[in-house]
Every structure is written in C-alpha cells, then in structure tokens.
Amino acid sequence: MEYIYKENAKDAPVFILLHGTGGNEESLVPLAETLNPEYNILSIRGNVNENGMNRFFKRHCEGQYDWDDLEERSEELYAFIISKSEEYHFALKNVVLVGFSNGSNIAIQMILDHPKAFKKAALFAPLFPIDLKVDRDFSDLDVFLSLGKGDPIVSEEESHRVIDLFKERKANVTTTWGNGHSINQDVVLKAKEWLKKIATF
C-alpha cells in the first residue's frame, strides 16, 4: 500500500489518516497538522480503484457496500498498520484514527473487528448502513463524529445509526454537525478541542 510516514516528535501519538473516495495519502495531511502539528503521521492510500478514484473497499453503488470485500480489505489494512507500527516503533494505543467518508467507514470496520486495538478515532462524514447484531465493548474508545446536515450521501437517519453504533457499545462519543459531505473549519476546530481534552501527550 502507498503511504506517507512523517515523524514530527519523538514518541508522539500517531495520526493514521484514511482519505475519502478519490483522495490519496496527501489529502488529510493538512487536517492532521491543524489538529496537532506535533503528532506523527501515517497516511495511507486506499488500493481499490473505482473509475480512477482511490477507495479502501469496493461497493456495488452509492451506499451499498460489498461487505465481503470490506471485511477482507479491513483485515489487510489492519495488518498493514501493525507492520508499520513495528517498523516505526509506535503502539496502537497511541494511535488516533482519522477518516473522511470512505476512510471513516473502513475505520469503523477495523474498530468492530479489533475492539481493543484502537483507543481514539475522529471520523468525518461516516456511513455504515447496516443494523449490527454483534456486541462489542467500546468503553475504552473515545470517538469524535462529524456529521452533515443536508449531506447528499449520508442521510441524518444514517448519521444517527453511526452515533448509535458507538453509543450502544459504550464508547465515549462526541458529536458535531456541519453542513453537507465535507470537513469545514468549524468542525476542524471542534475536533481539535476534542483532541485536547482526551490527549495524553
């Protein structure tokens, strides 16, 4: 997988950046640098090509996931992150998952598959269109969810489904609402405030 690793401070936490459809490993770097310029960065490019656009997993159409592919790609991504944590000497407990849209969605799958691995996640414009029956304990997870009023891709009903996914499993959830399917400056500032409150570095 194509990626960027940028070390800004020795032993600092690591942002793992997961872009949206059509993005790449450069897309979320400015966001990470705004959230905390001292954190290190591992930014990964999705290796699925959809009509020339990078994604992290396949879908049949908008909002209809290829669930088998999502499961397979999630495990592939998790293994990649593990390998980079060993190469660059960082612990998963010091990772902050930062995703936008498609990147948020595969982050949710990784968290579900490995509920004890990750402790912090900032997910922008997430969509996870399924009612889950599986139980998980997310009580050690702090998650920031940025959702969009009038989002043409993610309805408010679907946004609330994501909120419930985490709250029902006892995650420490912080939510904010912006407009549309985007990351605006107000949302970024709220994410930065959230990170300051939960930071250990």
C-alpha 25/C-alpha 174 separation (Å) is 26
17, burial (CB in 10 Å: exposed 0-12, middle 13-18, buried 19+): buried
Catalytic residue among 19, 74, 151, 159: 151
CA-wise closest residue to 107 among 89, 127, 88: 127
Strand 53-55 vs strand 40-44: parallel, antiparallel, or unpaired? unpaired
Tokens representing 71 are 């499961």
Neighbours of 92 (CB within 10 A): 17
C-alpha 154/C-alpha 158 separation (Å) is 6
- The verdict on whether 101 is a catalytic residue reads yes
Q: At what angle do helices 102-113 and 67-88 cross, to 10 degrees?
A: 80
Catalytic residue among 27, 43, 101, 146: 101
Partnered with residue 124 across adjacent β-strands are 100, 146
Q: Which residues are catalytic?
A: 101, 151, 181
